């Protein structure tokens, strides 16, 4: 027997279309605004849809777990209990001490599916990855998309492999000791196939975001909308066994209630973690530089596990590349990186020239551990939102690429790689879509060209997101691993990650235990019994270290000369040493 239910508070009647018949649904006496109906014959695999009022337009279930015919088609009954898991002994992966690896299922392999991605998991194990972070996989319109246009917040995208495909992927990760973090978007619905707002007030009547109308988190009947999000969050973690969620752009969640949605999510996830007996993480993407997000609830915060740290990226990126446009304007000096390494945020109640206002709030470095901040040299945003989607390999020397990697993996934060970064992939990662609607496709392409034209890029240089070639260019080329120059970079990243895990001082998340000195294009980070020296200049430099050198743990170039209290570093190189 299958019980169908749907929240539709503002309609006079709801019908269920199933097995060729339209059946009237009943008011649920226990839940205001809900409609329900038992259909004993509707077994798993049965297609169904809802009809609202007197309309003859079949609509998919807002809580559908399976959309085999796409976001505009009928929903299909899916029984979460029928999948045979083999991860009964899985104890999870906590964020502290972990290395994250961000990947996009559609471009990670040529086939672009969950099953094909499984064939590359051993590569991640050998690299030293702990948590695989998937870009959004919930259903969106079209075949190829970054995933941030999702409209079905409970259903994995069908062309990736649907619900069973995601479960096979997570199960395979757990068999190899890899945890899974899933990127999810709750700040807006995508522009095509978002039928949930036809059922009820899922959208706010107030100001929207750059992606469309805001989700109704604090207006009339917002309690059910909040429950919709909470149930989606719990469902991914419980039904698909994922180990954490990355919450997209939480600064766009407009919530003026006494208990913010983020805190509500943290409470629900903590309760589920206690039940399943393994750590479950919530990691926010936030533009606020507000440590309240990751402050425990006992301390008046929201209680999230961690947050992405764009300041760490900007400090590293500008120092390595020399770029200063847009939001990079305030970054670029060794002092900026020193501030980030010791205090997590650069903008911490300081003036932001990009925003033309004071931005951020200081982090209490004696109480907030560095592992709560996810840091990266590259990610999907920082590559894909460049006009050409070019990686650092397109602009940096091999020496500076290694220096950047050393600074990332010896920092007190949780490091994250973007797929292919570990071998210096030459393939770009560009913004691509496959909207079937011609008007929407044209609007997206025009908007993209206009956005980058305002930043000085010729319109002809900006790839058309709808051109299939844009998507194809963005797929990883695994054959590059057979080339010596790429294999050498991979070996270096593997050694670097192994060093981080072997040295307790390098995984120590205490921000107040870090000392940084710097000068003209050089920087030294002192971490207990370990020191990291980086020469960013195009010439050799002698750098004094805070103690006597006992041994060299890792060097990016063979020409480093060790002296009693310092090192002579070749141009664009770094060294990690143990101190006596």
Structure confidence by residue, pLDDT tens digits, 359-375: 999 999 999 999 999 99
Residue 434's SS3 state is coil
246 is in an annotated binding site: yes
Catalogue the active-site residues. Answer: 248, 285
175 is in an annotated binding site: no
**Residue 484 parent element (H or E):** helix 484-502
385 is in an annotated binding site: yes
**Residue 437 parent element (H or E):** none
pLDDT score at 451: 73
pLDDT beyond 90 at 211: no
pLDDT beyond 90 at 441: no
| 145 dihedral zone (left: phi>0; alpha: psi -120 to 50; beta) | beta
pLDDT beyond 80 at 459: no
380 is in an annotated binding site: yes
- DSSP symbol at 147: S
Average confidence score pLDDT of the chain: 95
pLDDT score at 422: 98
Query: Rounded to whole angstroms, how far apart are CA atoms 497 and 119?
Result: 22
Tokens of 205: 């009547």
CATH topology of domain 514-579: Immunoglobulin-like (2.60.40)
Residue 325 CB: number of other CB atoms within 10 A? 10
pLDDT score at 452: 74
Query: Rounded to whole angstroms, how far apart are CA atoms 536 and 521?
Result: 5
Cβ atoms of 186 and 215 closer than 8 Å: yes
Tokens of 263: 């805190």
The average pLDDT across 231-242 equals 98
- DSSP symbol at 236: H
Exposed/middle/buried for residue 513 (C-beta within 10 Å: 0-12, 13-18, 19+): middle
> In the structure, what pLDDT confidence band is assigned to residue 405 with cuts at 50, 70 and 90?
very high
Instruction: Please give the full DSSP string across 41-74, using - where no structure is assigned.
Output: T--TT-EEEEEETT----B--TT-S--TT-TTS-
6 is in an annotated binding site: no
pLDDT score at 456: 57
> In the structure, what pLDDT confidence band is assigned to residue 352 with cuts at 50, 70 and 90?
very high
Q: Each residue of 376-385: pLDDT tens digit?
A: 999 999 999 9
pLDDT beyond 80 at 6: yes
Nearest to 145 by CA among 185, 181, 115, 204: 185
> In the structure, what pLDDT confidence band is assigned to residue 414 with cuts at 50, 70 and 90?
very high
* Sheet with strand 34-39: strands edge to edge: 2-7, 34-39, 26-27
pLDDT beyond 80 at 239: yes
498 is in an annotated binding site: no
With tokens 């000068």, the residue in question is 519
- What is the distance in angstroms between the CA of the first residue and the CA of the last residue of the chain? 70
Residue with the larger pLDDT of the pair 453 and 81: 81
> In the structure, what pLDDT confidence band is assigned to residue 445 with cuts at 50, 70 and 90?
confident
pLDDT score at 205: 83
The average pLDDT across 431-456 equals 82
Query: Rounded to whole angstroms, how far apart are CA atoms 88 and 41?
Result: 32
Q: Each residue of 71-109: pLDDT tens digit?
A: 999 999 999 999 999 999 999 999 999 999 999 999 999
126 is in an annotated binding site: no
Query: Rounded to whole angstroms, how far apart are CA atoms 510 and 527?
Result: 10
pLDDT score at 213: 86
pLDDT score at 446: 82
**pLDDT above 90 coverage of the chain, percent:** 92
Residue with the larger pLDDT of the pair 449 and 21: 21
250 is in an annotated binding site: yes
Q: What beta strand segments (E) does 442-562 contain?
A: 514-519, 522-527, 530-535, 541-544, 549-555, 561-562
The average pLDDT across 556-570 equals 92
Q: Each residue of 284-316: pLDDT tens digit?
A: 999 999 999 999 999 999 999 999 999 999 999
Query: Rounded to whole angstroms, how far apart are CA atoms 87 and 98?
Result: 20
Residue 280's SS3 state is coil
pLDDT score at 353: 95
> In the structure, what pLDDT confidence band is assigned to residue 222 with cuts at 50, 70 and 90?
very high
Query: Rounded to whole angstroms, how far apart are CA atoms 495 and 572?
Result: 19
> In the structure, what pLDDT confidence band is assigned to residue 458 with cuts at 50, 70 and 90?
low
248 is in an annotated binding site: yes
Lowest mean pLDDT among 236-245, 453-462, 525-534: 453-462
pLDDT score at 518: 97
> In the structure, what pLDDT confidence band is assigned to residue 460 with cuts at 50, 70 and 90?
low
CA R_g for the chain = 25
Lowest mean pLDDT among 45-49, 226-230, 434-438: 434-438
Q: pTM for the whole thing?
A: 0.97
Residue 390 CB: number of other CB atoms within 10 A? 15
171 is in an annotated binding site: no
The average pLDDT across 170-187 equals 98
441 is in an annotated binding site: no
105 is in an annotated binding site: no
pLDDT beyond 80 at 207: no
**pLDDT above 70 coverage of the chain, percent:** 98
317 is in an annotated binding site: no
Cβ atoms of 154 and 64 closer than 8 Å: yes
542 is in an annotated binding site: no
Domains 2-59 and 514-579 share a fold: yes
The average pLDDT across 398-427 equals 98
pLDDT beyond 90 at 444: no
Residue with the larger pLDDT of the pair 210 and 53: 53
312 is in an annotated binding site: yes
Query: Rounded to whole angstroms, how far apart are CA atoms 72 and 193?
Result: 6
What residue segments make up the domains of the chain, in order of their start? 2-59, 514-579
CATH 2.60.40.10 matches 2-59: yes
């Amino acid at each position: 027997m299958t019980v169908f239910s749907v929240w539709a508070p503002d309609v006079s009647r709801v019908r269920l279309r199933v097995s060729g018949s339209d059946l009237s649904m009943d008011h649920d006496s226990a839940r205001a605004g809900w409609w329900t109906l038992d259909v004993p014959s509707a077994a798993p695999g049965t297609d169904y849809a809802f009809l609202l009022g007197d309309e003859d337009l079949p609509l998919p279930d807002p809580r559908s777990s399976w959309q085999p015919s796409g976001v505009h088609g009928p929903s299909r009954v899916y029984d979460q209990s029928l999948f045979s898991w083999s991860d009964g002994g899985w104890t999870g992966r906590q964020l502290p001490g972990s290395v994250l690896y961000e990947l996009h299922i559609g471009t990670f392999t040529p086939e672009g599916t969950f099953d094909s991605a499984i064939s590359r998991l051993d590569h991640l194990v050998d690299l030293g990855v702990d948590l695989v972070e998937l870009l959004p996989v919930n259903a969106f319109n079209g075949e190829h998309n970054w995933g941030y246009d999702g409209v079905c917040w409970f259903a994995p995208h069908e062309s990736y492999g649907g619900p069973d495909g995601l479960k096979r992927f997570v199960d395979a990760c757990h068999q190899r000791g890899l945890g899974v973090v899933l990127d999810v978007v709750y700040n807006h619905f995508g522009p095509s196939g978002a039928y949930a707002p036809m059922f009820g007030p899922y959208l706010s009547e107030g100001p929207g975001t750059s992606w469309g109308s805001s989700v109704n988190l604090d207006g009339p009947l917002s309690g059910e909308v909040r429950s919709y999000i909470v149930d989606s969050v719990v469902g991914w973690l419980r039904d698909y066994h994922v180990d954490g969620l990355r919450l997209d752009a939480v600064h766009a969640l407009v919530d003026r209630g006494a208990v913010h949605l983020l805190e509500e999510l943290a409470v629900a996830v903590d309760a589920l973690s206690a039940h399943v007996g393994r750590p479950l993480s919530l990691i926010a993407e936030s533009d606020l530089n507000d440590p309240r997000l990751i402050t425990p609830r006992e301390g008046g915060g929201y209680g999230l596990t961690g947050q992405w740290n764009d300041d760490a990226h900007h400090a590293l990126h500008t120092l390595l590349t020399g770029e200063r446009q847009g939001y990079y304007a305030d970054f670029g000096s060794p002092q900026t990186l020193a501030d980030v390494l010791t205090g997590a945020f650069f903008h911490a109640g300081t003036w932001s020239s990009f925003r033309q206002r004071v931005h951020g709030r200081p982090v209490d470095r004696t109480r907030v551990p560095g592992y709560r901040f996810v840091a990266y040299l590259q990610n999907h945003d920082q590559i894909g939102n460049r006009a050409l989607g070019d990686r650092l390999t397109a602009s940096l020397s091999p020496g500076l690429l290694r220096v950047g990697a050393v600074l990332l993996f010896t920092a007190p934060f949780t490091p994250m790689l973007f797929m292919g970064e570990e071998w210096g992939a030459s393939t770009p990662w560009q913004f691509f879509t496959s909207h079937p609607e011609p008007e929407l496709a044209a609007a997206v392409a025009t908007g993209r060209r206009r956005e980058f034209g305002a930043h000085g890029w010729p319109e002809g240089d900006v790839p058309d997101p709808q051109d299939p070639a844009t998507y194809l260019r963005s797929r990883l080329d695994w054959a590059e691993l057979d080339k010596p120059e790429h294999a050498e970079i991979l070996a270096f990243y593997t050694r670097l990650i192994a060093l981080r895990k072997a040295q307790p001082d390098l995984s120590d998340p205490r921000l107040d235990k870090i000392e940084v000195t710097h000068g003209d294009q050089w920087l030294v980070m002192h971490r207990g019994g370990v020191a990291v020296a980086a020469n960013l200049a195009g010439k050799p430099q002698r750098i004094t270290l805070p103690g006597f050198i006992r041994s060299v743990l890792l060097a990016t170039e063979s020409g480093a000369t060790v002296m009693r209290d310092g090192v002579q570093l070749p141009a664009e190189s770094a060294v990690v040493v143990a101190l006596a």
